[in-house]
Amino acid sequence: MLNPIEIEALKLSGFIAVVAVSISIIPGIIIAWFISRKSGLLSSVLNMIVYIPLVLPPVVIGYLLLLLFSNNGILGNFLLETFNISVNFSWKGAAIAAAVVSFPLLVRSVKLGFDTFDYKIEEAAYINGASKIDCFFSIILPQILPSIVTGITLAFARCLAEFGATITFVSNIPGETQTLPLALYTATQIPGTEDSAIRLVIISIILAFISVAIAEILAKRTNKRILGNRN
Amino acid sequence: MNISNHIKYKTILGDFTSNININFSEANIIAITGLSGSGKSTIAKVICGLIKPQNGHIKINNKLLYCSRNNINIPPHKRNIGMVFQEARLFSHMSVKANLLYGQRRNSIFDQKRFDKIIKILGIKSILNRDIFNLSGGEAQRVSIGRALLSEPKILILDEPLTGLDSLRQKKIMKIIKDINKNLDIPILFISHSLEEIIFIAEKIIIIDKGKVAAQGSIDQIISYKKLSYFNSSNTNYSLIKGIIHSHDKTNANTIIDVNGIKLITKPISDKINSNQIIKLFSKDISIATKVPNNISINNILEVKITKIKIYKKDGKAEIILALGKQEIIAEITLFSFNKLKLKTNLKVYALIKAISIVGK
C-alpha cells in the first residue's frame, strides 16, 4: 500500500515526535509549575522565553539552533567535546527542533492545570501528613493529569507538523531527517512527482485525523477518571 | 499524665489582628463560635500550621507545635492534627477507601480494628469502593471525617463541617461527632457560627469576637443573655434559658418544664423527666401585660420583674429584659405599648410567651 519512502518518512515522523515529547515532559512540568506558582522576575522572564517559539517564525528557530548546535556553537561544541555527539544533519537535531517548537504548547496546558488546581486540596494533603514533595506526586500530578495529557497530545501533533525549523537546522536527508512534511516538500519540488505528493498529502491528513481522535479519547478518559461525569 | 493543650498566639493578617489564648485539658467537645470574620477559622489554620502567627505558642497533647521564643515551627504534615473543612476536600482521583487511608499510611501502622470501628461510627462501609464524585455532600463529609480520624490525630478540628448540608444530614453528622468523641477519646474543636449546632454538640463553648476570646465556659455558664448577645443581630433577637423536664401531661399532649421553679408548658418532648433542656425564646414572641389577662389562648403567662429597659426610638421599639428566676429573657414590644403600659425597671409584670422552642440539652 505505502511505498518504502513513505513508510520511512512516516516512521521517522513518529519516532522524532516521540523522542521530542519524551525529552520535554519532565522539564515542561517543572517549568510550568515554576511559572504558575512562583512570582517574581525569574518567573516572568522564564514565562516569556518559553512562549517565544510560539510566535517566532520556525525558520528563525531553525537558524538559531543551527548557530547554537554547530560544531563551533556553544552547545554543539559542548556536546562534541564532552559526549562526542553531533546533532547536525541527524535525527537527533530534528528531535531537538521539534521539541523546541512544541515546548510552549506542552508548558501552556500543564501550566493551566497548575493554575486551576485547587490549593485547598493541597492543604488537606499536608494536614494528612504529606510532605510537599509527597503531595506533588500523590495529589497534584494525578489531579492535573488531564492537562498533562492534553499538553502531550498537542505537543505531539505539533511535532508531526514541524517543518520550518527542521529543514533549516538539519536539512532534508531521506532516512535521517526527512519527516513526512519534508518528504512532501521534496515531492513538490521535483517535476513529475505530483502523484507522490498527493499520496503524502492524503497520508498527512489521515495522520492528523488519527492523532486528533486519539487526543480526544485520551482527554475524555483522563477527565472522566479524575473529575467524574461532570464534564 | 495530665494532658494539656494550650493555644496562645498573636497573628496579624492585613488589618485584622487576632489575639487568642485558649487552654483545655479534657478530651471533650469544645465549640468555638462567633460571627463571621471574628477569627474562628484562623484558630484552626494556626493550629494546623497553615498560618504562622507573629508570636505565641501552640501546644497540643503536651507537644509543642509552635513556639516563637524557642523558634519551633513544626510543618503541617508533622503536626498530627485531624482537620475537616467546610468543603470535604477529598482527593477525587482516588476511591473512598484510598482517601481514608491517605493520612493513615503517612502517620500510623494500619489497624484493622480501628479502621472497622471508625467505618462503623461513620456508617460508610457500603461506599468504600465508590468514586469520590459519586458521593452526596453528607457522605463526602463523613469520608473527610474518617480520613482525618484514621491518621490517628491528637486532636480533631472541624471547621464549619455542616454548612451546606440539609438539616437531616446535619443532625446525622452531629450525632456521629458525639459518637466519635465518646468512642475514640479524642478532643474535638468544633468551629461553627450556629448556636443550635454548638448547644447540641459541645460541652464547652468559646466565643470569639474581633479576634479575641470574648467568653468561655460550659453551656450553663455562657447561656446568660449578655454573653450570647454576640449572636443577636437586631431583627432576630432571642434569649436562651435552661430548665429541666418536670412532667409529661399525656391528656393534653404537652410537657412541663421547670425553669428555676417557674413552670413552662411546651409541646410534648420525648426526653425523660429531670433531663436538662435549653429553650429558645424569640423576643418578638414575648408580650407584656401589667395584669393577668383572662380568656387568652396563651398558656405561658409568667410573673416576672423588669430588670432593664432598652429604648430604640428610631425603630419605635423597646427591649424589656425580664428576670425569670436567676435567668433573663428579653421581650420586644413597640414603643407605643411601652408608653401605654408605663413600664419601668423593678416593676412586676406578666410575660406572655407565645412560642417556645427546644434547641438542646
DSSP string, A78-100: HHHHHH----TTSHHHHHHHHHH
pLDDT computed for residue A230 by the predictor: 46
pLDDT, greater one: B234 or B231: B231
Does the model's ipTM exceed the 0.85 cut?
A: no
Residue tagged 500543564 (cell numbers): A110
Is there a contact between A128 and B87 if contact means CB atoms under 8 Å apart? no
In chain B, residues with a C-beta closer than 8 Å to the C-beta of A143 are 91-93
Residue B164 has pLDDT above 80, yes or no: yes
Whether residue A143 lies within 8 A of chain B, CB to CB, comes out as yes
Residue A231 has pLDDT above 50, yes or no: no
Chain B residue nearest residue A226, CA to CA: B93
Chain A residue nearest residue B76, CA to CA: A127
Decide: A162 and A97 in contact? Cβ < 8 Å. Answer: yes
In chain A, residues with a C-beta closer than 8 Å to the C-beta of B89 are 120-121, 123-124
Q: Which residues pair with B306 in a beta bridge?
A: B322
Q: How many residues does chain A have?
A: 231
B75 falls in which pLDDT band (50, 70, 90)? very high
Decide: A172 and A38 in contact? Cβ < 8 Å. Answer: no
In chain A, residues with a C-beta closer than 8 Å to the C-beta of B83 are 124, 127
Beta carbons within 10 angstroms of residue B248's beta carbon: 16
Q: Tens digit of pLDDT for each residue in B201-224? A: 888 889 888 888 988 888 777 766
Q: Tens digit of pLDDT for each residue in A106-138? A: 999 999 999 999 989 999 999 999 999 999 999
Say how many Å lie between the first and final Cα of chain A, rounded: 40
pLDDT computed for residue B225 by the predictor: 47
| Share of residues in chain B with pLDDT > 70 (%) | 95
pLDDT computed for residue B226 by the predictor: 52
Going by the DSSP 8-state scheme, the letter that residue B230 receives in this structure is G
Out of B77, B92, B103, the one facing A228 most closely (by C-beta) is B92
Whether residue A221 lies within 8 A of chain B, CB to CB, comes out as no
In chain A, residues with a C-beta closer than 8 Å to the C-beta of B100 are none
Taking one residue from A and the other from B, the number of pairs with CB-CB distance under 8 angstroms is: 72
pLDDT computed for residue A164 by the predictor: 94
In chain A, residues with a C-beta closer than 8 Å to the C-beta of B90 are 124
Domains of chain B and CATH, by start = 5-231 (3.40.50.300), 238-360 (2.40.50.100)
Out of B77, B79, B89, the one facing A131 most closely (by C-beta) is B77
- Residue at B27: amino acid letter: A
Measured CA distances, A200 to A12, A170, A187, A203, B260 (Å): 14, 21, 9, 5, 96
Chain B residue nearest residue A120, CA to CA: B89
d(CA B59, CA B263): 46
d(CA B354, CA B285): 5
Residue B23 has pLDDT above 50, yes or no: yes
B332 backbone dihedrals φ, ψ, rounded to 5°: -110, 120
Instruction: Enter the CATH code of domain A4-230.
Output: 1.10.3720.10
d(CA A220, CA A218): 5
Task: Determine which of A211-225, B139-153, B306-320 has the lowest per-residue pLDDT on average.
Answer: A211-225
- b/e map B68-105, b = 16+ CB within 10 Å: beeeeeeebbebbbbbbbbbbbbbbbbebbbbbbbbbb
d(CA B90, CA B84): 10
Instruction: Map residue B334 onto helix, strand or coil.
Output: strand
A85 falls in which pLDDT band (50, 70, 90)? confident
Domain boundaries, chain A: 4-230
Going by the DSSP 8-state scheme, the letter that residue B79 receives in this structure is S
Is there a contact between B80 and A129 if contact means CB atoms under 8 Å apart? yes
Rounded (10°) angle between helices B112-122 and B96-107: 130
Whether residue A129 lies within 8 A of chain B, CB to CB, comes out as yes
Is there a contact between A129 and B107 if contact means CB atoms under 8 Å apart? yes
Whether residue A121 lies within 8 A of chain B, CB to CB, comes out as yes
Nearest CA-CA partner of A101 in A53, A47, A151? A53
Is there a contact between B77 and A225 if contact means CB atoms under 8 Å apart? no
Whether residue B135 lies within 8 A of chain A, CB to CB, comes out as no
Average pLDDT over residues A30-51: 93
Is there a contact between B92 and A227 if contact means CB atoms under 8 Å apart? yes
Decide: B137 and B169 in contact? Cβ < 8 Å. Answer: yes
Q: How many helices and strands, by DSSP H and E, does chain A display?
A: 12, 0
B250 falls in which pLDDT band (50, 70, 90)? confident
Nearest CA-CA partner of B106 in B117, B116, B94, B98? B98
Going by the DSSP 8-state scheme, the letter that residue B136 receives in this structure is -
Residue B228 has pLDDT above 70, yes or no: no
Q: Note the maximum CA span of chain B.
A: 73
d(CA B327, CA B302): 13
Residue tagged 505505502 (cell numbers): A2
Beta strands in B105-228 (DSSP E): 156-159, 188-191, 204-209, 212-218
Q: Tens digit of pLDDT for each residue in B278-336? A: 888 888 889 999 998 888 999 899 889 998 898 888 889 998 988 887 788 889 999 99
Whether residue B60 lies within 8 A of chain A, CB to CB, comes out as no
In chain A, residues with a C-beta closer than 8 Å to the C-beta of B103 are 127-129
d(CA B225, CA B308): 12
Nearest CA-CA partner of A98 in A23, A16, A189? A16
Is there a contact between B77 and A230 if contact means CB atoms under 8 Å apart? no
Average pLDDT value for chain B:
88
For residue A228, count CB atoms less than 10 angstroms from its CB and return exposed for 0-12, middle for 13-18, buried for 19 or more. Answer: middle
Instruction: Map residue B349 onto helix, strand or coil.
Output: strand
Whether residue A134 lies within 8 A of chain B, CB to CB, comes out as yes
pLDDT, greater one: B226 or B27: B27
In chain B, residues with a C-beta closer than 8 Å to the C-beta of A145 are 93
Is there a contact between B93 and A225 if contact means CB atoms under 8 Å apart? yes
Residue A229 has pLDDT above 70, yes or no: no
In chain B, residues with a C-beta closer than 8 Å to the C-beta of A230 are 133
Say how many Å lie between the first and final Cα of chain B, rounded: 31
Residue B232 has pLDDT above 60, yes or no: no
The shortest C-alpha distance from B23 to chain A (Å) reads: 22
Sign of CA dihedral B121, B127, B131, B136: negative
Is there a contact between A225 and B102 if contact means CB atoms under 8 Å apart? no
pLDDT computed for residue A3 by the predictor: 86
pLDDT computed for residue B284 by the predictor: 87
Q: Tens digit of pLDDT for each residue in B110-132? A: 999 999 999 999 999 999 999 99
Residue tagged 528563525 (cell numbers): A60
Please name the residue ranges forming H helices in B210-326. Answer: 219-222, 225-228
Whether residue B78 lies within 8 A of chain A, CB to CB, comes out as yes
Interface test with A, best of B41, B89, B152 (most A CBs within 10 A): B89
In chain B, residues with a C-beta closer than 8 Å to the C-beta of A131 are 75, 77
Out of A130, A143, A227, the one facing B106 most closely (by C-beta) is A130
Is there a contact between B76 and A225 if contact means CB atoms under 8 Å apart? no
In chain B, residues with a C-beta closer than 8 Å to the C-beta of A227 are 92, 133
> Residues near B50 by Cβ (< 8 Å), separated by ≥ 6?
A123, A126, A127, B76
In chain A, residues with a C-beta closer than 8 Å to the C-beta of B133 are 227-230
Whether residue B187 lies within 8 A of chain A, CB to CB, comes out as no
Instruction: Map residue B67 onto helix, strand or coil.
Output: strand
pLDDT computed for residue A137 by the predictor: 95
